[in-house]
């Protein structure tokens, strides 16, 4: 009996028990769809997180106080405006392009009784280029604003929506931040949330204004800042810039060898951490979905065992007419494989549909997240479903093939 005859006979056998075959296929459909959808969500989350990190800039470094990898360092000195100025020295740090110290705090913005709790950033004009800032309208903080401790602010769209109910025509309006008047000079382009917080719920003011009027002094005095963003001249010079910054801070902080009281993070280290976390998340989601596929496989085995019992006389008759053990074995394996294959194909389409729906819901709720159905997920689901069909079909097929013709013919 050739393969084509086997397939047609198997389809005919499955068709004679439509309800039972349909329920068996449903188990595989749910399992495969779960695998596809879960992996799509995991891949989408990974792409979204890594996209947010890359959007910050591949040549960006983060410098802050504290030695994360060395708990032996006690009472680390804060990073300061003086440290930031030293990093701009072209002789000590030739691979550094720009430096932007940042002071961060929280406050309440108010306009005509409308309030919004928001993040307040005190920055220098270089923050605009270092963080790739773009504006819906207006202008960013200037050098004269910083030197004059001007009461000016650039606001995010969440703040604009909460205070004004609109995002345009806001330049020149006056709001109160922690009870003090500030004139709006610009509105940030919406970017959504990311691993670095939501830029849409921020108010940016000159760092000198923040130090004097909005944010309490940090440990280490009024010159201390929370983080220093450093832009290397190019992605290829990030390592050199990291070494130059580290050497400058070691000299200024008078730290012993191996006792750095600061941390320099690069995009590569953040990307590696994010990839590790999202990779584990994807494997975890895929593992949960695989359990559903395993349950579907057990369903196939149960149905095939029932089929063997019901068709015992048929099997005995086939053997009496000359069918070999191998022929019976292959026939039942083909039936279980067909059930798994049909369920796998429908499951792939259903899983893709679920991923599309999840993406639509994410867009509708304002989240920058798109599930990604990759070829690897489809291949994995297909191979796994086929393997499930074969594996769980082996025992029933072997049981059918091992029946003795005389006993099978006498079976009632």
Quick one: CA torsion of 373, 375, 378, 381, rounded to 10 degrees? -110
Give dist(CA 241, CA 230) in Å, integer: 9
At 138 the pLDDT is: 92
Same domain, 9 and 94: no
CB-CB neighbours of 176 under 10 Å: 16
Residue 68 domain flag:
no
Largest CA distance in the chain: 104
Instruction: Please give the C-alpha separations between residue 149 and each of 4, 209, 216, 218, 373, in angstroms, as whole numbers.
Output: 84, 5, 16, 19, 51
Q: How would you write the pLDDT of the chain (412 residues) with one tens digit per residue? A: 566 666 666 666 666 677 777 777 787 788 788 778 877 877 777 777 666 655 555 678 888 887 666 665 567 788 889 999 999 998 998 999 899 999 998 999 999 889 999 999 999 999 998 888 889 999 999 999 999 999 999 999 999 999 999 988 899 999 999 889 999 999 999 876 544 457 788 999 999 999 888 888 877 678 889 899 998 888 778 888 888 998 998 888 888 767 777 888 876 666 666 667 777 777 777 677 677 767 777 776 777 667 666 666 666 666 666 667 677 777 777 777 777 788 888 888 888 888 888 888 877 776 666 777 777 777 777 777 777 767 766 766 676 666 666 555 555 5
Same domain, 378 and 232: no
- Look up the pTM and report it: 0.58
Q: Which two tokens stand for residue 103?
A: 């002071």
Same domain, 255 and 280: no
Number of domains in the chain: 2
Same domain, 160 and 31: no
At 58 the pLDDT is: 61
Same domain, 256 and 277: no
Q: Which residues pair with 188 in a beta bridge?
A: 135
What is the number of residues in the chain? 412
Same domain, 215 and 333: no
Instruction: Please give the C-alpha separations between residue 67 and each of 104, 224, 260, in angstroms, as whole numbers.
Output: 20, 17, 6
At 5 the pLDDT is: 64
Give dist(CA 262, CA 50) in Å, integer: 25
- Residue-range definition of the domain harbouring residue 378: 3-53+272-409
DSSP string, 341-404: HHHHHHHHHHHHHHHHHHHHHHHHTT--------HHHHHHHHHHHHHHHHHHHHHHHHHHHT--
Q: Are 348 and 375 a contacting pair, CB within 8 Å? A: no
Same domain, 300 and 211: no
**Among candidate residues 260, 280, 315, the one where a domain is terminated:** 260
What is the distance, to the nearest Å, from the Cα of residue 205 to the centroid of all Cα atoms in its chain? 31
Give dist(CA 400, CA 157) in Å, integer: 69
Instruction: Please give the C-alpha separations between residue 363 and each of 249, 259, 351, in angstroms, as whole numbers.
Output: 44, 47, 19
Give dist(CA 345, CA 378) in Å, integer: 10
Q: Which two tokens stand for residue 148?
A: 């004059």
Quick one: CA torsion of 222, 224, 226, 231, rounded to 10 degrees? 120
Same domain, 168 and 242: yes
Q: Any alpha helices (H) in 169-266, and if so which ranges?
A: 207-209, 238-253
Same domain, 150 and 13: no
Q: Are 54 and 396 a contacting pair, CB within 8 Å? A: no
- Name the DSSP letter for residue 236: G
Give dist(CA 407, CA 412) in Å, integer: 10
Same domain, 282 and 236: no
């Amino acid at each position: 009996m050739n393969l084509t005859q086997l397939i047609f006979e198997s389809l005919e056998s499955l068709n004679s028990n439509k309800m039972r075959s349909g329920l068996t296929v449903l188990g595989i459909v749910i399992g495969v769809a779960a695998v596809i959808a879960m992996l799509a969500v995991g891949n989408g989350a990974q792409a979204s997180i890594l996209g947010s990190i890359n959007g910050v800039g591949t040549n960006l470094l983060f410098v802050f106080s504290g030695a994360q990898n060395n708990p032996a360092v006690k009472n680390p000195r804060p990073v300061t405006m003086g440290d930031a100025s030293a990093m701009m020295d072209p002789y000590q740090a030739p691979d550094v392009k720009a430096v932007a110290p940042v002071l961060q705090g929280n406050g309440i913005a108010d306009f005509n009784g409308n309030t919004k709790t928001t993040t307040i950033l005190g920055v220098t004009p270089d923050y605009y280029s270092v963080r790739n800032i773009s504006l819906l309208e207006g202008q960013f903080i200037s050098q004269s604003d910083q030197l004059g401790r001007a009461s000016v602010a650039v606001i995010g769209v969440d703040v604009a929506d909460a205070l004004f109910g609109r995002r345009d025509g806001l330049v020149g309006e006056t709001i109160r931040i922690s009870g003090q008047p500030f004139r709006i000079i610009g509105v940030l382009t919406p970017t959504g949330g990311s691993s670095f917080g939501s830029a849409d719920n921020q108010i940016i003011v000159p760092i000198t204004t923040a130090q004097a009027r909005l944010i309490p002094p940090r440990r280490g005095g009024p010159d201390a800042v929370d983080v220093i963003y450093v832009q290397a001249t190019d992605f290829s010079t990030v390592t050199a810039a990291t070494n130059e910054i580290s050497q400058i801070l070691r000299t200024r902080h008078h730290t012993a060898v191996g006792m750095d009281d600061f941390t320099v993070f690069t995009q590569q280290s953040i990307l590696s951490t994010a990839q590790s976390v999202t990779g584990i998340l994807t494997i975890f989601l895929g593992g949960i979905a695989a359990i559903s596929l395993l349950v579907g496989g057990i369903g196939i085995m149960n149905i095939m065992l029932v089929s063997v019992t019901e068709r015992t006389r048929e099997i005995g008759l086939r053997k009496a007419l000359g069918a070999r053990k191998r022929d019976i074995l292959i026939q039942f394996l083909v039936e279980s494989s067909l059930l798994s294959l049909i369920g796998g194909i429908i499951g792939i389409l259903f899983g893709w549909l679920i991923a599309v729906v999840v993406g639509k819901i994410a867009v509708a709720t304002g989240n920058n997240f798109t599930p990604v159905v990759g070829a690897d997920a489809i291949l994995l689901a297909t191979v796994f479903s086929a393997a499930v069909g074969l594996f769980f079909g082996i025992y029933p097929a072997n049981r059918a093939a091992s029946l003795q013709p005389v006993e099978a013919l006498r079976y009632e």
